[in-house]
Amino acid sequence: MIEMLRRSGIRVRLTLWYVLLLALILALFSTLLYLILDRALYGQVDEGLRLSAEQVRGAVRRENGRLQVVSSEGESEVTPLGERGLLVRVIDMEGRVAASAGPFRALTIPPEALDAARQGLSLSSTTAALGNNAPVRIYTVPYIEDGTVYGSIHVGQSLEEVQETLQRLVLILAVMTPLTLLLASAGGLFLANRALSPIDRVTRATQRISAEHLDQRLNLALPDDEVGRLARTLDGMLERLDEAFRRQRQFTADASHELRTPLAIMKGNIGVALHRPRQPAEYRAVLTDVEEEVDRLTRLVEDLLLLARTDTGQPLLHREPLDLVGLLQVVAEQVQPMAEAKGIALDVDLPPSLQIEGDPDKLVRLFLNLLDNAVKYTPEGGHVALRAAEAGKRGELGGGGEPGERGVMVQIVDDGPGVPPDQLPLIFERFYRADTSRSRTGGGAGLGLALARSIAEAHGGRIEVQSAREKGSTFTVWLPAPDDQPSP
Ligand code: ADP
């Protein structure tokens, strides 16, 4: 049953819950209604009987030691009550009936009523039903003169009417409750259908869109409610998936292209060499060319591997305390020959020491890529500067870093061609190269900055660029203090 409910869909479950809740409320309401009516009806009967009993008591006299009911206008006070269907008995202490009127003559007054009267108390009591008749409600008042009880007055009424009224109520409730529940289930199902049909539309629209058609959108004209927001959220997700898939495809195409070029060059060289027998020197020349291309391929594959590793969000496998200043000096020394060859002044301005935690090999890659780019893209006779400071002293370096962040800041500044503003967001993309540097002799594969950013982020840091055309570029790397870094 429960399993069936679980599979029957939200609308049926909602309706069932709704009907169940309504049934509980109706049951509570019916019970309360019955109890209130019951009390009110019995209270009314008791009040009527009490008034009648008081009226009779007012007419009772004691004459010659016997109780009598005085008559007004020649008629005993009890007769009209009897004609109204009330039982009236006036009984003295010896149990003799002084006056009697109305129906139920065979009825004996319950002993507890007589006892109460004997003690001078009034009492409402109910006799057991006589045969098929309904029980009779009796109100008893004592007749007291000078503090002595001389007898009792009992006025009774059949409870038939009260019972009939209550039974009618039960019947009405018994018919109305299932009817209401039936109508409520129909209404509930209708409402649930109305509320959920937009979700079905979203489901159908989503089913149409597969991985092949990620450019499609649900584009459902839904109001700005829960379902509308769901549809728009799905559209947003599709947008991001589409973008991610597109980039993935672009990445694969770019990577294949980059790998194909050196392979084609090697194939060409080897083909030419094998065409006819050659001198050893010629073979050597071809092999040297091939080795160059193999080196290029190896670098590319290593870069791709490193990017793929940092991409999966794996924390740094290797991390150790190190002095960034020593590391930066090594990097500066590596680019120094290239800078000298181009007549570029390399200005290195470093503090005595900067302690951080990180992977030294990867950090060398990061700063080498940046410094290499600066020297590579700056024309002859230009200037390149490498500076570093604690982030707290970033005033010296100007800009970058959020207030309150502790860490280390490294800047690589050049006065080269700069990056056009429209390309600034793109240069960190994989395989992105500005058109001007598309020549294979000058630029690399376009992975340098993507790798640099990946490495900075794997260290919990980031990399920013400021650049103006013909004014040069400033790359700022920010690395967090050792205890602020994400733990592996
Ligand atoms: P590449 O292998 O082409 O150097 P990068 O990812 O290192 O690839 O750089 C991407 C592009 O960003 C480069 O092609 C170049 O156009 C631009 N770029 C990077 N550094 C500089 C710089 N210091 N000055 C001007 N342009 C730069």
Name which residue leads in pLDDT, 8 or 359. Answer: 359
* Residue 2 DSSP SS3: helix
Q: How far is CA 385 from the centre of its chain?
A: 51
* Mean pLDDT on 269-285: 92
C-alpha 436 to ligand 1 mean position (Å): 10
Measured CA to CA, the distance from residue 110 to residue 126 in angstroms comes to: 8
Q: Which of 63-77, 310-324, 450-464 has the highest mean pLDDT?
A: 450-464
The CB of 427 under 6 Å from ligand 1? The reply is yes
Examine the pLDDT at 225 and tell me if it is beyond 70: yes
CB of residue 444 inside a 6 A radius of ligand 1: yes
Confidence of residue 399 (pLDDT cuts 50, 70, 90): very low
Encode pLDDT of 62-80 as tens digits.
Answer: 888 788 887 766 566 777 7
Ligand 1 pocket check for 452: Cβ under 6 Å = no
Percentage of the chain exceeding pLDDT 90: 46
- Closest Cα to atom 20 of ligand 1: 373
Which atom of ligand 1 is closest in space to residue 446's alpha carbon?
8
Which pair of tokens denotes residue 290? 């091939």
Encode pLDDT of 251-269 as tens digits.
888 888 888 988 999 999 9
Neighbours of 17 (CB within 10 A): 12
In this predicted structure, the answer to whether residue 440 has a pLDDT above a threshold of 70 is: no
152 lines ligand 1 (CB under 6 A): no
Phi, psi of 431 (to 5 degrees): 65, 10
Cα of 449 from ligand 1 centre, angstroms: 7
Q: Looking at the predicted structure, is the pLDDT value of residue 89 above 80?
A: yes
Q: Is the CB of residue 437 below 6 angstroms from any atom belonging to ligand 1? A: yes
Q: State the average pLDDT over residues 458-483.
A: 90
Mean pLDDT of 25-50: 95
- Does residue 77's CB lie within 6 angstroms of at least one atom of ligand 1? no
- Chain segment 231-241, per-residue pLDDT in tens: 899 999 989 98
Q: pTM score, two decimals?
A: 0.57
> Ligand 1 centre from 256 Cα, in Å?
21
C-beta of residue 324 within 8 angstroms of C-beta of residue 363: yes
Average pLDDT over residues 317-332: 91
328 or 104: whose pLDDT is higher? 328
Centroid of ligand 1 to alpha carbon of 448 (angstroms): 8
Ligand 1 close to Cβ of residue 374 (< 6 A): yes
Residue 479 — very low, low, confident or very high, per pLDDT cuts 50/70/90? very high
397 Cα: distance to centroid of ligand 1 (angstroms): 22
**DSSP secondary structure letter of residue 224:** S
Question: How many Å lie between the centroid of ligand 1 and the Cα of residue 427?
Answer: 6
Cβ contacts of 461 within 8 Å, gap of 6 or more: 407, 477, 478, 479, 480
Mean pLDDT computed over every residue of the chain: 86
CA-nearest residue for atom 8, ligand 1, is 446
432 lines ligand 1 (CB under 6 A): yes
Lowest mean pLDDT among 207-216, 248-257, 374-383: 207-216
For residue 413 and ligand 1, the question of a CB distance below 6 A is answered with no
pLDDT of residue 393: 47
Average pLDDT rounded to a whole number, residues 385-395:
77
What mean pLDDT comes out for the span 38-65? 91
pLDDT of 436: 54
